[in-house]
Amino acid sequence: MDFTFTEEQQAAAEAAAAVFADTAPDVVPSPALVSGAVADDFDRALWSRLAAADLLGLVLAEEHGGAGLGATALCLVLREAGRVLARVPLLEHCATAAALQAHAGPELAAALLPGAGAGRPVLTAAAHGRTGHDPAELAVTARRDGADWLLDGMQTAVPWAHGADWIAVPAHTGGGEAVLALVPRGAPGLALADQFSTSGERLAELTLNGVRVPAAHLIQAPQAWERLRGLLTLGTCALALGAGSAVLGMTSRYTAQREQFGFPVATFQAVAVQAADRYVDLRAMEAVLWQAAWRLDADGAGGPLPAAGDLAVAKIWASEGVRRIVQTAQHLHGGLGADTGYPLHRYHAWAKQLELQLGPAAAHEQELGDLLAAHPLS
């Protein structure tokens, strides 16, 4: 394995850093000061800048106007997005586009992919099932009705659904088969109810009541949902890494400037030890993220366990690591950490939302244990 980034991947990260340079984490009201969503829509101006920088087509082939890069490049860009708490459906859009490119039929690919690199249409995905704890593909049923399919069920906490044009909805056919349907936001029988994330973003609860989907808009290859779920998981870990990096930087700068007894608090052993532990968390989050990204880019080749094992390790570290980083930052900042005029509390809210999206580390440890049992390393 060689984790050295290619020139193309480094260029994508640099372009993303330039686009996000003027993005501040407090461009919307604080989630602590509003009872509903901090905004009704995502940051359309930032979305346009990402499109102009060709960052929305990173994972698309050149024939679709993309750069032909993979999961690693996408995670590098998402890491930059996480640093500034960028309010755009970058992860969901790119992950859905990648799944469509790999598995969609010609008609669906021709309808959605040519404009995806320009951010038109906007794509998102439903990945949390009914409760956020059950498999998303089991929350919706898909049954044939002549040449079409009918979808019934519910998906919770769908990000950016109110502003997206198309929603990727996993479903099952009753025979244990997972399918992926692309549903326009205004489809008859599809209802969106407001939900609000811990970070104050507007989510949607999707209720599907006999939503009719043409056969060309439903992908029956089970690998499509697996690919989309893997990219969504990996990208969430990348967002957590970016947020954690920003918070650790804030903590380092604050403790270097804040003085007690005439000395910067960063020089106190108790403070330095806590900061060092969080630095270890961040480096571990980074190492396992690139390992998992490399496995996805290699289509799972190159390891004794399936790529799901690397994703489980990445989820464990991202979920636990970002929580520990923001908690320590709050502690070391003292009362300033809770000041709504200082951005740390926003990172804390986003970190908690990312942790909830990833799920508890214990569940991922059990998943990893099951994989180890099924694939002995000896």
Map out the domains of the chain as residue ranges. Answer: 7-90+105-120, 125-220, 223-374
Structurally, at CATH architecture level, domain 125-220 sits in Beta Barrel (2.40)
H helix intervals, 162-268: 222-257
**What letter represents residue 156's amino acid?**
T
With beta carbons less than 8 A apart as the criterion, state whether 286 and 234 touch: no
Alpha-carbon 79 to chain mean position: 10
- Determine the Cα–Cα distance for residues 142 and 152; give it in Å rounded to an integer: 7
Length of the chain: 378
Of the candidates 244, 241, 242, the one whose C-alpha atom is nearest the C-alpha of residue 328 is 244
Q: Which of 157, 40, 13, 159 is nearest to 93 (CA)?
A: 159
What is the spatial distance between Cα 17 and Cα 79, in angstroms, rounded to a whole number? 9
- Residue 4 is given by DSSP the state P
C-beta neighbour count of 360 within 10 angstroms: 15
Bridge-partner residues for 192, per DSSP? 206
Query: Are 158 and 124 in contact, with CB atoms under 8 Å apart?
Result: yes
**Phi, psi of 88, deg, nearest 5:** -140, 150
Question: In the prediction, which pLDDT does 65 show?
Answer: 86
Instruction: Name the E strands within 215-255.
Output: 218-219
Token code pair at residue 144: 């044939």
Phi, psi of 206 (to 5 degrees): -95, 125
pLDDT of residue 338: 84
Look up residue 216 and give its DSSP letter. Answer: G
C-alpha 272/C-alpha 258 separation (Å) is 13
Separation between Cα atoms, residue 12 and residue 55, nearest integer Å: 7
Q: DSSP state, 117?
A: T
Q: Given this model, what pLDDT does residue 3 score?
A: 65
* The pLDDT of residue 378: 64
Cα 125 from Cα 293, distance rounded (Å)? 20
Architecture in CATH for domain 7-90+105-120: Orthogonal Bundle (1.10)
3-state secondary structure of 189: coil
Residue 181 tokens read as 């349907």
Longest dimension (CA), the chain: 79
Give the DSSP letter of residue 165: S
**Residue of 235, 234, 233, 225 whose CA lies nearest to 137:** 225
Mean pLDDT by 10 residues, the chain (378 residues): 84 97 92 93 97 95 90 97 97 97 94 94 96 88 95 97 97 89 97 96 97 96 93 97 97 89 87 94 97 90 86 95 96 89 94 92 88 83
Q: Which long-range contacts (CB under 8 A, 24 or more apart) does 279-283 make?
A: 279/248, 281/244, 281/317, 281/320, 281/321, 281/324, 281/325, 282/241, 282/244, 282/245, 282/248, 282/321, 282/325
What is the third-level CATH fold of 223-374? Butyryl-CoA Dehydrogenase, subunit A; domain 3 (1.20.140)
- Whole-number pLDDT of residue 314: 96
Q: Scanning the structure block, which residue is given the tokens 């052993």?
A: 269
Both structure tokens of 88: 């755009």
